Amino acid sequence: MIIRSKAPLRLGLAGGGTDVSPYSDLYGGAILNATINMYAYTTIVPTDDGKVVVELPDLGVSETYDSATVLPAEGPAVLHLGVYNRIVRDFTHRPLSLRISSHVDAPAGSGLGTSSTLVVSILGAFVEWLKLPLGEYDTAQLAYSIEREDLAMAGGKQDQYAATFGGVNFMEFYDNNKVIVNPLRIRKSVLYELSHNLVLYYTQTSRKSAEIIEAQTRNVKNKNGRSIEAMHKLKEQAVWMKEAVLKGDLDEMGRILDFGWQYKKQMADSITNTQIDQVYEAAVQAGATGGKISGAGGGGFMFFYCPQLNRYAVEKALLAFGGNVKRYEFTKEGLRTWTIQ
């Protein structure tokens, strides 16, 4: 028997950072994101040899453990082992024997929610295998709890819900981990035009999002007025962006993205740097009307809104910085799992 799963990565279009505690607990957060056809994949093969084997082809890693109720959640397989420990603790109450492997279509630290999406994919495979009674909200919340609480990894809440639900969603975040996912009905022509005009560019750099998010968290805890006001503006941006997408007023997106980028940079010092600023300026000079860095900041993917035929001049300008442009499409489906006998 083979159990497989896949969960989509996402573009955070607006409101990024307002899903992070304690801001979301104190003020409420709002985010608009959309999943794309890049995925985190997981395969589980049940075994009877009393071993847990974790294979990470992306990293050339294979680790073997004796089956136990708790495995050491550390090293390159930390996410897999964290999910395993929680599944055993909350559901099976006995050790499991299996071989598990994963692959992600984007590198870690790229800003597309890779870590959280991978957790959702791993968790989904266990849910499929063990027939666990978890709905979409349950799965997303459990993935969040494993990553943020069990493994103490800093970050927000949007990625787990985006990967689980899929599609274009306006998400609201409140105290006590309350999350409301509002799926948006967007015309196909609007999504096609959006994916054509929104250029996704990989800077060939990665970053540790946890460090940036920890700085953002400190700013809120320390009542840094500039940082908190910036997050208020990003929450407004999410509502503004939602209205533009629903109305199909896509050329407004460039201005909305630029508005958000100017405030996002004020949330923490390490969100941008000289190279990122140069890339952004070059894209605007070539015809982009706005853009942002994807995820927490500091590196990874950036994207830019390029109306009409401007994307070709913008792509040429971006390639001069040594990165690459990634073609993609928006996807409506979230986490999917299946079993092959």
Give the β-pairing of 290-293 and 2-14: unpaired
Query: 63: which 2 tokens?
Result: 């680790």
Backbone angles phi, psi at 298, to 5 degrees: 90, -15
CB 62 within 8 A of CB 16: no
Pairing outcome for strands 168-173 and 61-66? unpaired
Contact 182, 33 (CB under 8 A): no
- 221/266 Cα distance (integer angstroms): 15
The Cα 219–Cα 213 span in angstroms is 10
Query: Identity (one letter) of the amino acid at 112?
Result: L
56, 276 contact by CB (below 8 A): no
Annotation says 249 is catalytic: no
* Helices marked H in 175-251: 188-197, 209-221, 225-247
Residue type, 190: V
From CA 296, how far away is CA 112, in angstroms rounded?
A: 9
Closest residue by Cα to residue 156 from 300, 298, 10, 16: 16
Active-site hit among 19, 105, 159, 258: 159
Active site residues: 159
